[in-house]
A and B are shown apart, each in its own frame.
Chain A
Amino acid sequence: MKWWRRGGWLLALLVVVALGWRYFGRTVQPVSSPAQRETDAAALHDPALIARGEYLATVGDCAACHTARDGQRYAGGRSLGTPFGDVPAPNITPDPDTGIGAWSFDDFWRALHEGKGRQGELLYPVFSYTSFTKVSRDDALAIFAYLKSLPPVHRPDTELGLGFPYNVRSSLVAWRALYFKPGVFQPDPAQSEQWNRGAYLVQGLGHCNECHTTRDSLGGIEQGRHLTGGQIPQLDWYAPDLSTRPGGGLAGWNAQDIVDLLKTGQSAKGVAFGPMADVVRLSTQHMTDADLQAVAVYLQSLPPRAQPAPAPFRRAASHEQGGKLYAQRCADCHGADGRGVAGVYPPLDGNTSVTEPTGINAIRSVLLGGFAPTTAGNPKPYSMPPFAQQLNDADVAAVVGYIRQSWSNQAGAVQPADVGRYRHTPID
Chain B
Amino acid sequence: MIRLDSWRRRLPGQVLRVALALVALGACGAAVAQAGAAPPAPDTMQQRVAACTSCHGAHGEGSPDSVAIPRLAGKPAGYLIQQLEYFQTGQRRHAPMEYVVRQLSPAYLREIAGYFAKQDVPYRKLPVPAVSVETLRRGEQLVMRGDSTRGVPSCVSCHGGKLTGVEPMMPGLMGLSYDYLSTQLVSWRTRQRAAEGPYCMGVVANRMRESDITAVSAWLASREPPADMHPEPASAQTEPLPGWCVMGKSGAGQ
CA distance A384 to B103 in the complex (A): 13
Task: Report if B16 contacts A (CB, 8 A).
Answer: no
CA distance A339 to B244 in the complex (A): 58
Set B1, B47, B96: member contacting A382, Cβ < 8 A = B47
List B contacts of A384 (CB < 8 A): 50-51
List B contacts of A48 (CB < 8 A): none
Set B47, B48, B99, B111: member contacting A370, Cβ < 8 A = B99
Q: A313-B2, A380-B111, A389-B55 are in contact. Are A427 and B95 (CB under 8 A)?
A: yes
CA distance A331 to B105 in the complex (A): 28
- When the two chains form their complex, are residues A70 and B50 in contact, meaning their CB atoms are under 8 A apart? no
Cβ contacts B33-60/A at 8 Å (1 or 0 each)? 0011111110000011111111100000
CA distance A69 to B98 in the complex (A): 11
Set A381, A389, A408, A425: member contacting B48, Cβ < 8 A = A381
Task: Report if B134 contacts A (CB, 8 A).
Answer: no
CA distance A202 to B65 in the complex (A): 47
- When the two chains form their complex, are residues A374 and B104 in contact, meaning their CB atoms are under 8 A apart? yes
Task: Report if A373 contacts B (CB, 8 A).
Answer: yes
Q: How many interface contacts (CB-CB < 8 Å) are there between A and B? A: 117
The main secondary structure of chain A at its interface with chain B is loop
- When the two chains form their complex, are residues A368 and B96 in contact, meaning their CB atoms are under 8 A apart? yes
Number of interface residues of A (CB under 8 A): 44
Set B5, B38, B66: member contacting A333, Cβ < 8 A = B38
- Nearest chain B CB to A346's CB is how many angstroms away? 11
Residue in A371, A384, A424 whose Cβ sees the most chain B Cβ within 10 Å: A371
Q: Which residues 62-106 of B have a CB within 8 angstroms of A?
A: 65-66, 69, 89-91, 95-96, 98-100, 102-105
- When the two chains form their complex, are residues B50 and A337 in contact, meaning their CB atoms are under 8 A apart? no
List A contacts of B95 (CB < 8 A): 424-425, 427
The residue on B at minimum CB distance from A385 is: B54
Q: Which residues 169-192 of A have a CB within 8 angstroms of B?
A: none
Task: Report if A388 contacts B (CB, 8 A).
Answer: yes
The residue on A at minimum CB distance from B96 is: A386
- When the two chains form their complex, are residues B90 and A339 in contact, meaning their CB atoms are under 8 A apart? no
Task: Report if A207 contacts B (CB, 8 A).
Answer: no
- When the two chains form their complex, are residues B103 and A372 in contact, meaning their CB atoms are under 8 A apart? yes
Q: Which residues 351-399 of A have a CB within 8 angstroms of B?
A: 368-374, 379-390
Set A277, A334, A335, A382: member contacting B50, Cβ < 8 A = A382
- When the two chains form their complex, are residues B55 and A313 in contact, meaning their CB atoms are under 8 A apart? no
Cβ contacts B4-36/A at 8 Å (1 or 0 each)? 010000000000000000000000000000011
- When the two chains form their complex, are residues A388 and B96 in contact, meaning their CB atoms are under 8 A apart? yes
Set A70, A265, A383: member contacting B51, Cβ < 8 A = A383
Give the contact-size bracket for chain B. 35 or more
Q: A313-B2, A337-B37, A381-B48 are in contact. Are A374 and B108 (CB under 8 A)?
A: yes
Cβ contacts B105-116/A at 8 Å (1 or 0 each)? 101100100000
Residue in B39, B54, B107 whose Cβ sees the most chain A Cβ within 10 Å: B54
- Nearest chain A CB to B111's CB is how many angstroms away? 7
- Nearest chain A CB to B193's CB is how many angstroms away? 14
List A contacts of B66 (CB < 8 A): 389
Q: A390-B54, A424-B95 are in contact. Are A335 and B36 (CB under 8 A)?
A: yes
Task: Report if A410 contacts B (CB, 8 A).
Answer: yes
- When the two chains form their complex, are residues A374 and B54 in contact, meaning their CB atoms are under 8 A apart? no
CA distance A386 to B39 in the complex (A): 21
CA distance A333 to B65 in the complex (A): 23
The residue on B at minimum CB distance from A312 is: B5
CA distance A410 to B3 in the complex (A): 11
- Nearest chain A CB to B234's CB is how many angstroms away? 27
Q: A313-B5, A425-B95 are in contact. Are A371 and B51 (CB under 8 A)?
A: yes
- Nearest chain B CB to A122's CB is how many angstroms away? 32
Task: Report if A336 contacts B (CB, 8 A).
Answer: yes
Task: Report if A325 contacts B (CB, 8 A).
Answer: no
Task: Report if A281 contacts B (CB, 8 A).
Answer: yes
Q: A374-B108, A380-B108 are in contact. Are A386 and B99 (CB under 8 A)?
A: yes
Task: Report if A102 contacts B (CB, 8 A).
Answer: no
CA distance A332 to B36 in the complex (A): 10
The residue on A at minimum CB distance from B49 is: A383
- When the two chains form their complex, are residues A385 and B51 in contact, meaning their CB atoms are under 8 A apart? yes
Q: A335-B36, A337-B36 are in contact. Are A386 and B54 (CB under 8 A)?
A: yes
- 7 closest pairs, A vs B, by CB? A385-B54, A335-B38, A383-B51, A336-B36, A337-B36, A70-B89, A425-B95
Besides A70-B91, A336-B36, 13 other A-B contacts (C-beta < 8 A): A69-B89, A69-B90, A334-B38, A335-B36, A336-B38, A368-B96, A371-B51, A371-B100, A373-B103, A380-B48, A382-B47, A425-B98, A427-B98
Task: List, sorted by A's number, 26 A–B pairs whose CB atoms are closer than 8 Å.
Answer: A69-B89, A69-B90, A333-B50, A336-B38, A337-B38, A339-B38, A341-B40, A344-B40, A345-B41, A369-B100, A370-B51, A371-B104, A374-B105, A379-B107, A381-B48, A381-B108, A382-B41, A383-B49, A383-B50, A383-B52, A383-B100, A386-B99, A389-B55, A408-B2, A425-B99, A427-B98
